[in-house]
Amino acid sequence: MITSDRMAAVDRNATALGISPEWLMESAGNAVARAVREFGGPDASVTVLAGRGNNGGDGITAARFLSDLDVEVLLLGRPSGLASDETRAKWDALQAAGVPTREVTDSTAIDVGSPDIVVDAILGTGVTGAPREPERTAVQAINESDAAVVSVDVPSGMDVDTGEVVDVAVDPNRVVTFHDVKPGLADREDVTVANIGIPVAAERFVGPGDRQVIERPSDSHKGDFGRVMVVGGGPFTGAPALAAQAALRAGADLAYVVAPESVADQIQGYSEDLIVDAVDGTRIGPDHVDDLLAAARDRDVVLLGPGLGDAEESHAAVAEFLEAYDGRAVVDADALAAVPDVETDATVVCTPHQGELEEMGGPTADDWEERSALVEEFAADLGHTLLVKGAHDVISDGETTRVNRTGNQGMTAGGTGDVLAGATAALLAQVEPVDAAALAAYANGLAGDAVVDRDGFGLVAADLLPELPRALWDGRR
């Protein structure tokens, strides 16, 4: 099952793998044409009603595959109004093939005729709201005709994610949907799924399409993108500073560091963008838990671990905090050891490397494919989302599992994990845990690739910070 948003992301990932939208449309049109032949027999007459979006493009392509039959295409609009390059290319190919077409701009001129089969390629996953004119009249004309109806991808007018119909939708005899079943079609018996050549890799590997989960609408306000609180520092100071700065670079509006007073000034010294709150002493410990919980109430995500150290008291503080906390948390580094023994209502993303995962009681496997299956099982047992760092990062919430391939051996430098944890925390304020962790891993690796491509090896963690925005947005705004 796949939602339309996830489908759009996977589609973009396929493009990045070299599989162009035009290829996918060719496969989609071919699949529809095959269904029409199966359904209508070798001598069927066919009318394709095509909208101006890519759903229409699939119908236009199907008509070319059916050019040996009595086939006609009704385009709802002018060819100049076709919405994408690939649909225009398919329209030109249809003209060149000499398949009869009619352009209908006025809804009163819609005449489906009396074919054996009508192909409904009016609206697909790109529909918003109720069908407007001339699409609305076209939907009604299909429903009033005696022809058998084959819908392309989704019955036109239906919301594929919910199955809801606003006003009107086509009532088909068969739906040929692409790649995977959409939630709104799940319980129907007239649906067949066509493989259109989107490889498993486009779903499994995090890619540029996964960036589409984050948005930054123009009417946003301060705080909409999260307040992140980093709890750490004591034996180390750079780690919490890096993590908090990474959270800002990954889009958080405010980043706080709560650290022992012995190191608070030093942490503040790294950046004026950080808000540093000092607690007594030289280590985070159980005495601080009440204050941490009180502060966490005004934050969207808490990141536990950077620079915390492995003192017994700090470990106990993490455990006590998680037992009482029910918000969103990222747990990294020395804080990870507390997780397996803790009962918590918090939504937790853990970011261990392989060694830390084993210390948590997790699996080990050299082969990343085997590892990803084992990590999925362990995440399900643990009840938390895992981001296991490695040459192939494995991200799983126990149900959905993704693998990230960005990054390079230059990123074995100290502090890159703190940057990743901070980015994960920022994204966790905005999107679901598995999406946040996958996107953070992807962006962190891409940032590292940009630095090493430009400068060669010798990267330091702070180099990643200015690259993170581009890695996450890359021309999108």
CA distance 239 to 308: 9
d(CA 12, CA 3): 14
- DSSP 3-state assignment of 303? strand
Nearer to ligand NAX, 8 or 295 (CB): 8
Residues 167-196 that bind ligand NAX (CB under 6 A): 178, 196
Query: Which of the listed partners (K ion, ligand NAX, none) does 11 bind, with a CB threshold of 5 to 8 Å by partner kind?
Result: ligand NAX
Q: Which of 23-31, 187-195, 340-348, 381-389 is the region at the interface with ligand NAX (rule: CB under 6 A)?
A: 23-31
The answer to whether residue 53 forms part of the interface with ligand NAX (CB under 6 A) is yes
**Angle in degrees, CA 56, 59, 61, rounded to 5:** 110
CB 429 within 8 A of CB 253: no
- 128 touches ligand NAX (CB under 6 A): yes
Output the smallest distance, CB 91 to K ion, in A: 17
> Does 270 sit near ligand NAX (CB under 6 A)?
no
Q: By CB under 5 A, how many residues form the interface with K ion?
A: 5
Q: Which of 72, 135, 320, 463 binds ligand NAX (CB under 6 A)?
A: 135
H or E stretch covering 275: strand 275-279
Q: 152 or 255, CB closer to K ion?
A: 152
Binding site feature residues for AMP: 417
- In 3D space, the residue among 70, 79, 67 whose CA is nearest the CA of residue 29 turns out to be 67
Buried b / exposed e over 328-352, threshold 16 CB at 10 Å, is bbbbbbbbbbbbeebebebbbbbbb
Contact characters 148-167, ligand NAX, x per CB under 6 A: ----xxx-------------
Residues sharing a CB contact under 8 Å with residue 18, sequence separation 6 or more, in sequence order: none
Contacted by 30, from K ion, ligand NAX, none: CB < 5 to 8 Å by type = none
Based on CB atoms, which residue is closest to ligand NAX, 30 or 351? Answer: 30
| Alpha carbons 406 and 207: distance in angstroms, whole number | 9
Contact 241, 274 (CB under 8 A): yes
Q: Is 210 in the site for ligand NAX (CB under 6 A)?
A: no
Question: Residue 207, interface with ligand NAX (CB under 6 A)?
Answer: no
Q: Which of 126, 197, 327, 390 binds ligand NAX (CB under 6 A)?
A: 126
Would you count residue 320 as binding ligand NAX (CB under 6 A)? no
* Closer of 56 and 260 to ligand NAX (Cβ): 56
Instruction: Please say whether the beta carbons of 79 and 51 come within 8 A.
Output: no
Q: Rule CB under 5 A: say whether 101 interacts with K ion.
A: no
Q: How far apart are CA 194 and CA 97, in angstroms?
A: 25
Nearest to 304 by CA among 279, 267, 338: 338
Dig out the tokens for 353 from the structure: 């490397």
Residues that bind ligand NAX (CB under 6 A): 7, 11, 24-25, 28, 51-58, 83, 123-132, 135, 152-154, 178, 196
Residues that bind K ion (CB under 5 A): 55, 120, 151-152, 156
